[in-house]
Amino acid sequence: MASGYRVPLHRETGRGAWDSIRAFVFGLYLCSTTDGEGDLLSATGMQTLTEAKIAELLGVSLYTEQQHEHIHGLTIGQVGGPGWELVQLLKTLLDETGKVLVDGGYPNLGSFVAEALKEGARAANEKGDPEIAADVVLERVRWCQFNHRRQSVLCRILIRLKFPSLCAPSLASKI
């Protein structure tokens, strides 16, 4: 996610794509509350995030500055540029992910993952094969209509951050 924005992210934030997205997700977690602004990682919270809040958490600008064509010394700020493009991608990703979770009856991504992990554990116990648990979790992600590549990437990022034990070397290629 955001690998095409590596250079602009380094220029604006001093971090690369992976580290910027990780910091963004961590910022979502830190800014989430049960009152006031709300839980930004909830299904509805993902849908209510504004472009300004996303830009703030990423540490990027939504504007580019250009010299005025006719007035020397006058700089005009216009919406656009790589920071704005990345914010638009993340806004779409969060809106779509929140919608899928709401439509599926999940209050947040964590409840979806927890249910998938329980299903995986049941399948592993029934079949006697612990490797099946990861397959069930991944199939559950696919089943829940995370059919856009961007959403799959967000799921993988959040799963890796929230459940690092799922990312053992033998499972890393699957997640």
pLDDT of residue 158: 59
Instruction: Supply the pLDDT for residue 24.
Output: 92
The DSSP 8-state label assigned to residue 17 in this structure reads H
Question: Which helix (H) or strand (E) covers residue 122, if one does?
Answer: helix 109-127
Model confidence at 149, in pLDDT bands (50, 70, 90)? Answer: very low
The pLDDT tens digits of the residues spanning 101-145 come to 888 888 888 888 888 888 888 888 888 887 787 787 777 776 665
Residue 66's SS3 state is strand
b/e map of 152-173 (b: 16 or more CB within 10 Å)? ebbbbbbbeeeeeebbeeebee
- Say if residue 51's pLDDT is above 90: yes
Global pTM value: 0.69
